[in-house]
Amino acid sequence: MNKQPIVSEEARKKRNKKLVAVLGLVIVAIAGALYVRYAVNQYTQQKYLESYGQTALTVGKYTVTYDVYRYFYLNYRDELEDKYTAADGNVDTAALDREIRERVAEAVTGLYGTVSLADDYGITTADGDVKSTADTYVDAVKSYYKDNGGDYAADLEANYMTEQVFTFLMSVDAMEDKLFTTLVSDGGKIEDNDEKVLEILHGEDFVRAKLIFIENDDGEDVENNRKIAEEALAAYKDGTDFNTLVGRYSEDYGMPTDGYYFTRMEMIDVIETAAFAMADGEISSVLECEDGFYILLRLPKDEAYITENFADLKSQYQSAIFYGMIDDRAALLTALEGEYVRGLSYEEIR
């Protein structure tokens, strides 16, 4: 026998009307919440753009926002402030500001050397894989802070960094990795064939040298350090073993036992120029640089060492060529300050 409906048809229609009405209210409430969230996000974004989003620099065709500029500026300020602080505690802020701005322009130009070179190969920070790699890293950092009770936001601010800046820098890092992979792939600009790389390691574009370094530490007499370097050089010419002199004089405590194997664009200019101009067994004069004095002894390359360390030497060679390409591109770019940061004083950049 057919059962009668528990609820009459009229009652069912009334209930359905109520459900539709309630559903309508829920939809309106969700839409309202979404609109509020959108409005808050728009307001937050607007406030961000009013300060951090202002154009600070142009580097070639690229625009650099103030948050990136501020990150570099304040970190260089912390590094350089002591240099411009007098004994009475007064800071020469005008001179300090000038050097900071020069350093920022140089650093940002270097950063955009990568961006510009990658652009040639169709690689940008908006690429799906680049963005995914950067986001994954940022999320991993956040998780680490959460799991270990750290304050992610506070540490970002302590380093003068917004999350947008952190994400951008990680995106450039991911883009750099993708660019490197592209350049060492088949037909790429950087040699990857083992036999050809081995030929390069044995050729004139790769050298071996040991060095003595006398560092100009803060407060030291530079001319006295020069005399020490000249004394070491004279001792070598008088027959003292170079390794003995390294142990006695050198402040380059990280030099490998076998010395340095390197190609062009790896060492500072004064060392590179001397090393590639000398023949095996020759010693340089006392070489002066900003940090101190060097004496360089060029040595013949050790076949057994190259064979044993081939993978590391190959990677070293490829990295040197890669970063040399980035430096060459950066040298073609010019950083120009925008009106916004030109109008800010040292005290106003905080």
Number of compact structural domains in the chain: 2
- Scanning the structure block, which residue is given the tokens 């009229």? 10
Residue 209, judged by CB atoms within 10 A of its CB (0-12, 13-18, 19+), counts as: buried
Residues 127, 118: contact at Cβ < 8 Å?
no
Determine the 3-state secondary structure of 58 from DSSP.
Answer: strand
Question: Where would I find the H helices in the chain?
Answer: 9-51, 66-80, 93-120, 128-147, 152-158, 163-184, 194-202, 222-237, 242-249, 269-277, 303-308, 310-331, 339-342
pLDDT tens by residue, the chain, 350 residues: 443 333 344 444 444 444 444 444 443 443 444 444 444 444 444 555 556 899 999 999 999 999 999 999 999 999 999 999 999 999 999 999 999 999 999 999 999 999 999 999 999 999 999 999 999 999 999 999 999 999 999 999 999 999 999 999 999 999 999 999 999 997 789 999 999 999 999 999 999 999 999 999 888 899 999 999 999 999 999 999 999 999 999 999 999 999 999 999 899 999 999 999 999 999 999 999 989 999 999 999 999 999 999 999 999 999 999 999 999 999 999 999 999 999 999 999 99
In angstroms, the CA 301 to CA 273 distance is: 18
Domain that holds residue 334: 55-189+330-348
Determine the 3-state secondary structure of 91 from DSSP.
Answer: strand
Indicate whether 337 belongs to any domain. Answer: yes
Residues 246 and 164 placed together within one structural domain of the fold: no
In angstroms, the CA 256 to CA 271 distance is: 16
Which backbone phi and psi does 102 adopt, to 5 degrees?
A: -65, -45
Chain-centroid distance, C-alpha 159: 14
Q: Please give the model's pTM, rounded to 2 decimal places.
A: 0.79
Indicate whether 5 belongs to any domain. Answer: no
Residues 137 and 59 placed together within one structural domain of the fold: yes
Rg from Cα positions in the chain:
30
pLDDT for res 215 = 95
pLDDT for res 48 = 52
Residues 97 and 146 placed together within one structural domain of the fold: yes
Residues 288 and 304 placed together within one structural domain of the fold: yes
Residues 160 and 224 placed together within one structural domain of the fold: no
Residues 103 and 170 placed together within one structural domain of the fold: yes
- Select from 196, 179, 200 the least CA-distant residue to 188: 179
Indicate whether 26 belongs to any domain. Answer: no
Residues 175 and 203 placed together within one structural domain of the fold: no
Residues 257, 208: contact at Cβ < 8 Å?
no
Indicate whether 320 belongs to any domain. Answer: no
151 CB neighbour count, 10 Å cutoff: 10
Residues 215 and 304 placed together within one structural domain of the fold: yes
Residues 215 and 159 placed together within one structural domain of the fold: no
Indicate whether 207 belongs to any domain. Answer: yes
Q: What is the DSSP letter of 65?
A: E
Residues 182 and 205 placed together within one structural domain of the fold: no
Residues 81 and 160 placed together within one structural domain of the fold: yes
Indicate whether 41 belongs to any domain. Answer: no
pLDDT for res 50 = 57
Q: Look up residue 183 and give its amino acid.
A: L
Residues 166 and 133 placed together within one structural domain of the fold: yes
- The CATH number for 238's domain is 3.10.50.40
Determine the 3-state secondary structure of 81 from DSSP.
Answer: helix
Residue 159 contacts by C-beta under 8 Å, 6 or more apart in sequence? 71, 75
Encoding tokens for residue 293? 């004095």
Indicate whether 2 belongs to any domain. Answer: no
- Per-residue pLDDT of 160-193, as tens digits, reads 999 999 999 999 999 999 999 999 997 789 999 9
- Select from 62, 38, 52, 76 the least CA-distant residue to 329: 62
Length, in residues, of the chain = 350
Q: Look up residue 5 and give its amino acid.
A: P
In angstroms, the CA 192 to CA 188 distance is: 8
In angstroms, the CA 53 to CA 47 distance is: 9
Indicate whether 63 belongs to any domain. Answer: yes
Determine the 3-state secondary structure of 292 from DSSP.
Answer: strand
Which backbone phi and psi does 220 adopt, to 5 degrees?
A: -80, 155
